[in-house]
Amino acid sequence: GEDVEQSLFLSVREGDSSVINCTYTDSSSTYLYWYKQEPGAGLQLLTYIFSNMDMKQDQRLTVLLNKKDKHLSLRIADTQTGDSAIYFCADRVNAGNNRKLIWGLGTSLAVNP
Amino acid sequence: NAGVTQTPKFQVLKTGQSMTLQCAQDMNHNSMYWYRQDPGMGLRLIYYSASEGTTDKGEVPNGYNVSRLNKREFSLRLESAAPSQTSVYFCASRSGGVGETQYFGPGTRLLVL
Task: Give the separation between CA A102 and CA A89, rounded to whole angstroms.
Answer: 9
CA gyration radius for chain B?
13
Q: Give per-residue pLDDT as tens, B17-56.
A: 999 999 999 999 999 999 999 988 889 999 999 999 899 9
Cβ within 8 Å, pair A42-B105 = yes
- Supply φ then ψ for residue A49, to 5 degrees: -135, 140
pLDDT band at A2 (very low <50, low <70, confident <90, very high): confident
Candidate from A35, A41, A105 with C-beta closest to B106: A41
Task: Give the separation between CA A41 and CA B90, rounded to whole angstroms.
Answer: 10
Q: Residues B4-11: what's their mean pLDDT?
A: 96
Q: Give per-residue pLDDT as tens, B72-101.
A: 999 999 999 999 999 999 999 998 877 778
Q: Chain A residue closest to B5 (CA)? A: A42
Q: Chain A residue closest to B38 (CA)? A: A105
Candidate from A48, A50, A100 with C-beta closest to B101: A48
Cβ within 8 Å, pair A43-B56 = no
Q: Is residue A98 scored above 70 in pLDDT?
A: no
